[in-house]
Amino acid sequence: MTMGRYFFNDEQLEMIRRILLSQREHLLDDAGKTVARMGDTNETFADPSDRATWESDSTRDLRIRDRERQLMDKIDAALARIEDGTFGECEECGETITIGRLKARPVTTLCIECKAKQEADEQKANRP
């Protein structure tokens, strides 16, 4: 099997690593703000609808943070692939994922052809 390290030069890998670390830092910053905002609610809500709105917003924020936690796991996995030399290798076919696709979605593990096939298969499975 081919190794991503041989398909991308050090400058390209460093650029992707910086993108991933920047995304990771942004996610951590957002999570910290959410925790602080939710922890600041020592107030009593005079109107039950205000309380319901706050709870709804909090639930939405927690769902977003959960999706971001999943993205954080993907970022960490991509950083590990950079370190072990498998970054940029499609996990389905073993071919190299294009640098353009990796710039746009650095956590991806599928080349565009395999991703298109995966999405087509999912659409077929979801049809009545």
Burial 75-86 (b: 16+ CB within 10 A, else e): beebbebbeeeb
Quickly count helices (H) and strands (E) in the chain.
Answer: 4, 0
- Residue with more model confidence, 61 or 99: 99
Q: How confident is the model at residue 101 (pLDDT cuts 50, 70, 90)?
A: very high
pLDDT in tens, 47-80: 888 778 877 877 887 888 888 899 999 999 999 9
Q: Where are the domains of the chain?
A: 4-126
Per-residue pLDDT averaged across 103-114, rounded? 95
Q: How confident is the model at residue 2 (pLDDT cuts 50, 70, 90)?
A: very low
pTM score > 0.85 for this model?
no
Task: With H, G, I as helix, E, B as strand and everything else as coil, classify residue 41.
Answer: coil
Which numeric CATH code is attached to 4-126?
A: 1.20.120.910
